[in-house]
């Protein structure tokens, strides 16, 4: 690290030119990322729902697991009018020529359930040639474009909807939200920086580095999108984190440089001291944030791995720019850094506000500790009531096509058409489902499903058997069917006759608790009649995928949390040569994360204060947000812990007086911590006032946790506990770690600084 910093200080112009070239090369690719985003969810590899999707595509052709519902409507032409049938045929022809593998509607199937209740709408089921969810999502615009080019005229309107279209439109909304948040957050951040520094150049540098970090990272995500799925949340998450830590790291170094200047150091000496002394802390902090992102590889969902790589990229880029580009820019700018202010250093006899606060808390620890613990308990306890919530059509803007199509489905058909439940019936042997015993078993299953009040319609193989009536005893292969029925049967019975499909269209939307409960019950069902007939039953569909997605994300916390805690503990143990300090640090970080969850439960699940921010509470927390908050917050919280404890440790090494060390450490870093936290709160909080509920959960959760961490945790709880533990803070078994070299000791000292 020291070698890298020294090289930057000796060759500042070369370093600046290299970074300008990197940013210039990255910018065109970063600008293309929005067009490469492919989703905000995915099937969990090897999960029951993913296996059903794979088997459906294998048995009935590509895209069978990803059928799009499209609603064709006309205000003036009824579905009984031949013109409606002609329009449906025209649309079918255009979609076929656009590469779709099949389109089903009333006029080519005779299925009256595909006609709307209002007499002016019809449902078309479009099957794309897609093997995966992401492949299917990439066809959304293709289908919509074909519908626009079908030449149906102004008398007809077509709305392509369904869960795949919903997530496609969520991407568009989320990208718009990102731009909206940046337009709010970046100007506010600049204002805060101006207030902190009182100098426009000093204020602008952290923001310039943060934006440069984001440009490089978005370019890397674009490159990854060629081989891996990159979700819109990857873009949003790395942008949030890049702005936050980019500004923070630069703020720490610039503040330290100004402190050295105020002490009378020459400008080159001040820059060198700031870069060297802050570099150790930036590296430890960066390692903590990277650990959280890398832990996402423990989750068996591919698009999270891309997000993890993007997160690591944003951290590494931010650290490198802070340690190389920023010192080079400071040397080039020189004393203009502080314009129009003139720095002065007036020693304060009592150490200032933060020193007085530290003495007060350590003199009367229980007066502050008990109320603080009660407040944290009030925030943490709701975590035990946390419920999962999943995004649906209501989370889209009313102007989005998937939302408009959903409303038409709900009004004229059933909301469950957004994503029917798929029940795959498979022969356990080489025999066919076309036997009397197996047909009777399927009929029994159909009767039970159709009688469930949560089901709007049950179709597929049972429906085909019902149409055949007594003649079904004559059918033992698909070729035995009447010619007019053979094409339709291919959608519900495999060519080899060993697989059949039953689909259930629920009355409610796929993400609703009612449908989720139905899927859980179907999965728990014994299916005795099927087993007795030699049949196996698998339950899939989008609701099942959501359940598996939530199960993987919540279940992965059991793997992610221990790994992050252990790696962070080891890093801090080496950094501070202590056992107690790392244990206390990770405990404080866990409390911050749990308190953020509790805050979100209050607002987004129980609706406390939701009206004040114009929020309709969704009734729970998104599983993706729960996981991401932990992995990101744990690392971000370590920023302030490392800055505070590094200065305390330095003073303790110098004086051996624990109480004095805590007072000095907080007096030197309190202003810096609160300033940095205020910037993060502004940046993350700006995402809390966007349109998408999930983005609002993410932004407000991050903002609240950072605010709590930088106030209640770092400047109240940590000083009190450091004071109560005394010399025990620095206990380390003899010979447990090798003694640090002189260079390591120096790099770990003097890392705090005033905010200016």
pLDDT in tens, 582-613: 899 899 889 999 999 999 999 999 999 988 88
Can you give the pLDDT at residue 755? 36
Mean pLDDT confidence for 230-234: 81
Options 3.40.50, 1.10.10, 3.20.20, 3.30.70; CATH for 419-546 is 3.30.70
Return the number of other C-beta atoms located less than 10 Å from residue 607's C-beta.
Answer: 14
How far CA 230 is from CA of 41, 213, 302, 304, 311, in Å, comes to 10, 18, 9, 8, 12
Band of residue 343 on the pLDDT scale cut at 50, 70, 90: low
Burial of 224 (0-12, 13-18, 19+ CB in 10 A): buried
Say which residue the tokens 């916390």 belong to.
557
Domain with CATH 3.30.70 in the chain: 59-160, 419-546
Band of residue 283 on the pLDDT scale cut at 50, 70, 90:
confident
**Residue-level pLDDT at 746:** 44
Cβ-Cβ contacts under 8 Å for 306 (sequence gap 6 or more): 221, 224, 225, 228, 229, 230, 231, 234
CA–CA distance from 34 to each of 163, 209, 694 (Å)? 20, 22, 19
Mean pLDDT of 410-432: 94
Position 275 pLDDT exceeds 90? no
Task: For Cα atoms 713, 714, 718, give the angle at the middle one, nearest 5 degrees.
Answer: 85
Beta strands in 467-525 (DSSP E): 499-506
Angle between helix 718-725 and 365-380 (nearest 10): 130
- The pTM (predicted TM-score) of the whole model is 0.85
* CB contact at 8 A, 645 and 721: no
Instruction: State residue 539's pLDDT score.
Output: 96
Task: Please confirm whether the linkage preceding 602 is cis (ω < 30° from 0).
Answer: no
Joined together, the tokens standing for residue 368 give: 């502050």
Cα–Cα distance list, 168 to 41, 267, 442, 510 (Å): 10, 52, 35, 16
Q: Distance between CA 586 and CA 568 in Å, rounded? A: 7
Residue 739 confidence (pLDDT): 57
Q: What residues are paired with 158 via a beta bridge?
A: 72
pLDDT at 675: 84
State the CATH class of domain 59-160.
alpha beta
Q: Which tokens go with 667?
A: 């007096």
Give the distance from CA 312 to its chain's centroid.
15
Q: Which residues contact 208 (CB under 8 A, 6 or more apart)?
A: none
Here the tokens at position 98 are 């656009």
Per-residue confidence (pLDDT) for residue 742, from 0 to 100: 47
Mean pLDDT along residues 419-443: 92
Q: Which of 201-215, 362-376, 618-632, 634-648 has the lowest mean pLDDT?
A: 634-648
Contact status, residue 116 vs residue 122, Cβ threshold 8 Å: yes
For the cut 70, the answer to whether the pLDDT of residue 277 exceeds it is: yes
Range with top average pLDDT, 24-38, 178-192, 514-528: 514-528
Query: What are the pLDDT digits (tens) for 476-498?
Result: 888 888 877 887 788 899 989 99
């Amino acid at each position: 690290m020291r070698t890298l910093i020294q090289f930057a200080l000796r060759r500042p112009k070369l370093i600046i030119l290299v970074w300008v070239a990197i940013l210039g090369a990255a910018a065109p690719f970063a600008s293309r990322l929005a067009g490469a985003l492919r989703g905000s969810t995915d099937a969990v590899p090897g999960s029951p729902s993913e296996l059903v999707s794979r088997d459906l595509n294998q048995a009935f052709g590509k895209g069978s697991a990803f059928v799009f519902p499209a609603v064709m409507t006309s205000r003036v032409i009824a579905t009984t009018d031949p013109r409606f049938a002609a329009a449906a045929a025209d649309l079918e022809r255009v979609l076929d020529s656009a590469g779709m593998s099949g389109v089903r509607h009333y006029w080519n199937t005779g299925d009256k359930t595909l006609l709307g209740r209002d007499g002016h709408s019809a449902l078309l089921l479009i099957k794309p040639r897609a093997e995966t969810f992401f492949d299917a999502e990439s066809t959304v615009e293709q289908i919509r474009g074909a519908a626009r080019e079908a030449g149906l005229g102004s008398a007809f309107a077509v709305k392509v909807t369904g869960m795949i279209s919903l997530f496609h439109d969520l991407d568009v909304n989320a990208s718009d939200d990102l731009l909206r948040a940046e337009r709010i957050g970046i100007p506010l951040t600049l204002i805060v920086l101006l207030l902190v520094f009182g100098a426009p150049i000093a204020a602008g540098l952290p923001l310039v580095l943060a934006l440069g970090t984001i440009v490089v990272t978005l370019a890397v995500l674009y490159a990854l999108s060629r081989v891996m799925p990159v979700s819109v949340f990857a873009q949003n998450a790395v942008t949030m984190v890049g702005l936050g830590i980019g500004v923070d790291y630069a703020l720490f170094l610039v503040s330290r440089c100004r402190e050295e200047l105020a002490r009378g150091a020459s400008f080159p000496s001040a820059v060198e001291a700031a870069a060297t002394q802050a570099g150790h802390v930036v590296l430890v902090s960066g390692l903590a944030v990277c650990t959280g992102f890398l832990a996402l590889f423990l989750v068996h969902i591919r698009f999270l791995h891309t997000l993890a790589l993007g997160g690591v990229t944003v951290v590494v880029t931010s650290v490198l720019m802070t340690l190389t580009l920023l010192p080079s820019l400071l040397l080039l700018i020189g004393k203009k850094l502080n314009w129009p202010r003139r720095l002065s250093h007036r020693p304060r006899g009592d150490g200032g506000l933060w020193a007085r606060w530290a003495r007060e808390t350590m003199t009367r620890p229980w007066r502050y500790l008990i109320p603080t613990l009660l407040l944290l308990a009030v925030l943490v306890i709701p975590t035990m009531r946390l419920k999962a919530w999943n995004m649906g059509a209501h989370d889209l803007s009313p102007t989005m096509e998937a939302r408009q199509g959903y409303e038409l489905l709900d009004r004229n058909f059933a909301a469950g058409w957004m994503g029917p439940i798929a029940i795959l019936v498979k022969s356990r042997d080489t025999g066919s489902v076309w036997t009397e015993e197996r047909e009777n078993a399927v009929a029994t299953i159909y009767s039970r499903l159709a009688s469930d009040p949560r089901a709007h319609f049950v179709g597929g193989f049972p429906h085909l058997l019902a149409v055949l009536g007594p003649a079904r005893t004559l059918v033992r292969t698909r070729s035995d069917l009447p010619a007019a029925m053979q094409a339709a049967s291919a959608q519900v019975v495999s060519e080899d006759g060993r697989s059949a499909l039953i689909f259930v269209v629920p009355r409610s939307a796929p993400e609703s608790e009612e449908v989720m409960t139905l899927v859980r019950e179907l999965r728990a069902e014994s299916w005795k009649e099927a087993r007795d007939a030699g049949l196996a039953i698998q339950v899939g569909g989008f609701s099942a995928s959501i359940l598996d997605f939530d199960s993987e994300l919540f279940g992965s916390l059991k793997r992610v949390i221990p790994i992050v805690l252990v790696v962070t503990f080891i890093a801090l143990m080496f950094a501070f040569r202590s056992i107690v300090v790392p244990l206390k640090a990770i405990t404080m970080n866990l409390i911050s994360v749990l308190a953020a969850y509790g805050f979100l439960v209050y607002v987004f699940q129980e609706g406390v204060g939701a009206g004040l921010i114009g929020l309709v509470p969704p009734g729970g927390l998104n599983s993706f947000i729960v996981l991401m908050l932990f992995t990101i917050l744990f690392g971000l919280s370590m920023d302030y812990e490392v800055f505070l404890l590094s200065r305390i440790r330095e003073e303790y090494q110098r004086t051996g007086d624990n109480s004095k060390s805590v007072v000095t450490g907080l007096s030197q870093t309190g202003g810096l911590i609160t300033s940095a936290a205020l910037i993060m709160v502004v940046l993350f909080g700006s995402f809390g006032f966007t349109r998408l509920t999930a983005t609002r959960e993410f932004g407000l959760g991050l903002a609240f946790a950072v605010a709590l961490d930088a106030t209640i945790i770092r400047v109240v709880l940590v000083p009190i506990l450091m004071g109560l533990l005394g010399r025990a803070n620095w206990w380390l078994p003899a010979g447990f770690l090798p003694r640090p070299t002189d260079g390591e000791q120096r790099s770990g000292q003097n890392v705090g600084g005033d905010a200016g």
